[in-house]
Amino acid sequence: MLGASASLTGAQARAVVAALAAARPGPVPDNPQACTAGPEESPVWLHLHYQDRSQQTLRVRFGGCQARWVAGSTGVSQVTVALLQAAIGPLHSGFGFEADLPRR
């Protein structure tokens, strides 16, 4: 497993928070027709530190075809392409799967 770490501030941090706020509640619906062989889990952990010194840890699960979500202290929401681009894009590592994930 490859690990990466980065600190996002300013506009980059606001993009992650905006993508989270725009995401629908609940997980992305499963799509068994899109299942392919290979690793199913693509986890991302985000540790958000706000100006008021509060913190939130999010676990993002996206991958082939099922159980795709973002879990945090406020509940579960859909993982979206916009969220992945905002959170992973600054790492310049890309992400290999987006298929039927919601765009926003």
For residues 30 and 64, is the Cβ–Cβ distance under 8 A? no
Kindly state the average pLDDT of the residues 18-24. 92
Amino acid at 5: S
* pTM score, whole prediction: 0.77
Q: With H, G, I as helix, E, B as strand and everything else as coil, classify residue 3.
A: coil
Of all residues in the chain, the percent with pLDDT exceeding 90 is 21
For residues 89 and 83, is the Cβ–Cβ distance under 8 A? no
- pLDDT, one tens digit per residue, over 36-78 is 766 666 678 888 888 899 888 889 888 778 888 999 888 999 9
What average pLDDT does the structure give for the chain?
82
Domain limits of the chain? 27-91
Determine the Cα–Cα distance for residues 57 and 82; give it in Å rounded to an integer. Answer: 18
